[in-house]
Structure 1
């Protein structure tokens, strides 16, 4: 795929709002304001949500880090680019795509970033004026590393007896905090990527202490939950893999505790950045966006990690605060996907919107979350595997043509597959119109040479 275009310049710097762009890795809908887990404590993310619009039915473009982030940051869907999986470098197949921070740079902004915004080795340093790369974290002591209740296969967690300041995410937040404490002549696009709750779930002890093990509530998972799921979906769930290991080692409760602790740690870092913005002269002229790149299963559908097309993997946090546009304490229950973030920020900052972008501006929803919005959210995992989510239903279609359909009004946990019920044929037909007409061939997979793409050009 090759995209070429020429965009004009936006409004003058004096009129332009700043953008604070916060990404939290592997953060699912367990945060308090989305209610995914009854015990999750996220006071800082919640207070941000209360200041603007919380999108309660927001979904990623792909349920894995690289394709989700590449799609959001370029405005180009996986089905348009061919970037479907983590091991497919995105820049070689989109050499002319203008990334979100690059577009802001081209229109008079300073683009600054830290932490994980693009996936791993696929950061695009040419998109930034300056960028602080993720650093490593301390490791647990051997007694924790060797504890059978600190891992199940490659799902790893454990208590760290260190202070927050020794953690990479603390340093990434500090970089944003330091930037907000300085005077800037240009408007800015400031991105801060928080890595937790991505694995390993190793965070300071005080966050584990927030969730006593004997009070941990596990997800409700019927034993027969996969019985009405087609073979393609069962293969995606891999129930004999992670879930079997978790059960065999009696680690379900321990791992849920670790994930909750990691969310709590991430929430504190988000709060530190928000406090710095509030204390700065930029507070009244800065748009705030917080998003998670996808959800995360912790046993639902007998599945762990992301890598599925069910609600737990596609639904992720999205909230926006826009001075002069959004009112406080608004919830938007309309189904949206993250392809809309790029054009929305362009419209808010009066920047030109590229005609090739796959999303549309959500400014109308920011002004009135209750307007009619009839664009189902689309998520893709691998070529020709798609999920559509509207305000009531989820329709999944796998590459072999098999399907799942769930009615969220009566079945919010997606336990009853209605795809073969003739009474829902019209629903399926209506939703299926939004499946992509183009399904790009797979982008080339990673090689040592293609991975070395973050050399500034």
Structure 2
């Protein structure tokens, strides 16, 4: 009898402990992070992304969010470690920070170490050397990250070209899905796998689920029906489709990835300063919008499976994409269109609002840690040489969300160049070839950029050796087409912004 009584007490105690553990986990919200590839900040005058706009309407919507570098691997590693490219010493695709610099903790790793199941589906870290060919598994993820099998056909000649009546490796590539290899597309597989994770989870732990969608990254390959949703007669050209006269050459990039596609190659556009024909500008913009609509539809399906009462949802992109503004295409620059991205935070119980101050993608790390109530204190990195295993270079946006921070916000970005004059590797120079770094600061009114001497062996900067400068007043020139750098009337502004940039680029 005494044994049974003792057994009953122990059983009740065990149940209580289990219940407490379950309660502890349930007090932590789930986190869904959606990373879209090459998605610029799109206004409704360009295309109406219904599902993203609906989510933005019930979320904290940051309308001026900027990437740290307009290139996939550096931007993703920066976002997922909360550190600037200078801290990771990654400006291309060919080094892994844990081996090359220090064993810094990543955002999903922090959640994993604090009781979360962490999953990666699709392109979260950039695949390859920059994430150790493992997407940083097992440090960051509970399970091996998932990649769609159909991704191997990314650059196959699967685009039917009416002009040649053949299959080509085109930039513009609307397709019939059932006619594609494997009868599917990568983002469709990514969505299916994500829903399987959500529907089959039986763990009591909260989850951190990162989903990386591939489009609208080129080639602009998407289900054909989305092109019909963007009538070409409604597509507007950029207001300034040519290289501005006062743009320093070091700022220009020749968008070689577009030039290498079969349909664009056939246009014989002069290298490196030639501009896209008007007809093709409209066609590319149409297909980019169509690819964005395709992704928006997939996000809508994903969000229909989310429990909003206990899930934080963050949607953003690794960087933006130029669509012919100032004669430029793709990323590879310090212009707003190449750096500005959507940034939406849905937080249960938080009042929806639209935020205009400039913020940065490295702000996501400390913001999510604070919002999730992990109960850990992560310090701010002292500078880019701070080798602390866990610190962040951005700032938590929670005070801004709650209206208790009135600071003057700004965003700092950068881009490397091998030379002043555009070359074949100006878009994506390898580390050993980088000679110049363009550091850019975006305030509410201005974008200011200095292209300065950079030593890629010692990782040092000579601020006194300037190869070009840019200053744009967004109140009068939102297209960044009128460079005011040499305008004597803006000397005080230039001096102020130069000091602000130089005093803050490393933090």
User: Please, what TM-score do these two structures have when normalized by structure 2?
Assistant: 0.76
Distance 2:232 2:497 in 1: 42
How many equivalent residue pairs?
415
The Cα offsets for residues 318-351 of structure 1, whole Å up to 9 and x where unpaired, read as 1101112x212x1100011111100011111123
In the alignment, what sits opposite 1:76? 83
Kindly report the root-mean-square deviation, in angstroms, between the aligned alpha carbons of the 2 structures.
Answer: 2.9
In the alignment, what sits opposite 1:334? 357
Distance 2:413 2:156 in 1: 40
The alignment status of 1:290 with 2:325, answered yes or no, reads no
Shift of 1:149: 9.4
The alignment status of 1:28 with 2:40, answered yes or no, reads yes
In the alignment, what sits opposite 2:470? 404
Which one has more relative contact order, counting CA pairs under 8 Å at least 6 apart? 1
Deviating above 6 A after TM superposition, structure 1's stretches of 4 or more consecutive aligned residues are 138-143, 236-239
Q: Note if contact 1:243-1:303 (Cα within 8 Å) is conserved in structure 2.
A: no
The alignment status of 1:430 with 2:457, answered yes or no, reads no
Distance 1:154 1:209 in 2: 21
Q: Note if contact 2:321-2:330 (Cα within 8 Å) is conserved in structure 1.
A: yes
Provide the secondary structure at the position in 1 that maps to 2:447: strand
Which of 208, 215, 232 does residue 196 from structure 1 map onto?
215
The alignment status of 1:362 with 2:397, answered yes or no, reads yes
In the alignment, what sits opposite 1:345? 368
Q: Note if contact 1:18-1:286 (Cα within 8 Å) is conserved in structure 2.
A: yes
Distance 2:82 2:340 in 1: 18
Distance 1:204 1:295 in 2: 22
The alignment status of 1:393 with 2:446, answered yes or no, reads yes
In the alignment, what sits opposite 2:347? 322
Distance 1:166 1:29 in 2: 27
Provide the secondary structure at the position in 1 that maps to 2:222: strand
Q: Note if contact 2:241-2:324 (Cα within 8 Å) is conserved in structure 1.
A: no
- For residues 436 and 22 of structure 1, do their structure 2 counterparts lie closer, same or farther at Cα, with a shift above 3 Å needed? farther
In the alignment, what sits opposite 1:413? 479
Where do 1:231-242 residues align within 5 Å?
Answer: 231-235=249-253, 240-241=270-271
Q: Note if contact 2:254-2:272 (Cα within 8 Å) is conserved in structure 1.
A: no
Q: Note if contact 1:201-1:262 (Cα within 8 Å) is conserved in structure 2.
A: yes
Q: Note if contact 2:176-2:223 (Cα within 8 Å) is conserved in structure 1.
A: yes
- For residues 93 and 393 of structure 1, do their structure 2 counterparts lie closer, same or farther at Cα, with a shift above 3 Å needed? same
Q: Note if contact 1:226-1:234 (Cα within 8 Å) is conserved in structure 2.
A: no
- For residues 154 and 435 of structure 1, do their structure 2 counterparts lie closer, same or farther at Cα, with a shift above 3 Å needed? farther
The Cα offsets for residues 260-314 of structure 1, whole Å up to 9 and x where unpaired, read as 111011111111110011xxxx420111100111010111111111000011101
- For residues 361 and 41 of structure 1, do their structure 2 counterparts lie closer, same or farther at Cα, with a shift above 3 Å needed? same
Which of 52, 56, 59 does residue 66 from structure 2 map onto?
59
Distance 1:336 1:346 in 2: 17
- For residues 411 and 149 of structure 1, do their structure 2 counterparts lie closer, same or farther at Cα, with a shift above 3 Å needed? farther
Q: Note if contact 2:150-2:186 (Cα within 8 Å) is conserved in structure 1.
A: yes
- For residues 141 and 58 of structure 1, do their structure 2 counterparts lie closer, same or farther at Cα, with a shift above 3 Å needed? closer
The alignment status of 1:220 with 2:235, answered yes or no, reads no
Provide the secondary structure at the position in 2 that maps to 1:391: coil
The Cα offsets for residues 7-29 of structure 1, whole Å up to 9 and x where unpaired, read as xxxx9423211101001000001
Q: Note if contact 2:121-2:210 (Cα within 8 Å) is conserved in structure 1.
A: yes
The alignment status of 1:244 with 2:256, answered yes or no, reads no
Distance 1:40 1:424 in 2: 35
Distance 2:115 2:361 in 1: 24
Distance 1:358 1:50 in 2: 29
In the alignment, what sits opposite 1:161? 176
Distance 1:390 1:291 in 2: 20
Higher mean displacement: 259-268 or 373-382: 373-382
Q: Note if contact 1:79-1:380 (Cα within 8 Å) is conserved in structure 2.
A: no
In the alignment, what sits opposite 1:312? 337
Shift of 1:150: 11
Q: Note if contact 1:346-1:353 (Cα within 8 Å) is conserved in structure 2.
A: no
Gaps of 5+ in 1: 1-10, 441-457
Distance 1:139 1:337 in 2: 30
Higher mean displacement: 177-186 or 42-51: 177-186
Q: Note if contact 2:121-2:193 (Cα within 8 Å) is conserved in structure 1.
A: yes
In the alignment, what sits opposite 1:451? none
In the alignment, what sits opposite 2:430? none
Q: Note if contact 2:220-2:287 (Cα within 8 Å) is conserved in structure 1.
A: yes
The alignment status of 1:92 with 2:92, answered yes or no, reads no
Provide the secondary structure at the position in 2 that maps to 1:86: coil
Shift of 1:88: 4.1
Larger Rg: 2
The alignment status of 1:274 with 2:303, answered yes or no, reads yes
In the alignment, what sits opposite 1:446? none
User: Please, what TM-score do these two structures have when normalized by structure 1?
Assistant: 0.83
Provide the secondary structure at the position in 2 that maps to 1:251: helix
Shift of 1:240: 4.6
Q: Note if contact 2:314-2:343 (Cα within 8 Å) is conserved in structure 1.
A: yes
Distance 2:78 2:142 in 1: 21
Higher mean displacement: 333-342 or 228-237: 228-237
Provide the secondary structure at the position in 1 that maps to 2:150: coil
Which of 325, 331, 349 does residue 300 from structure 1 map onto?
325
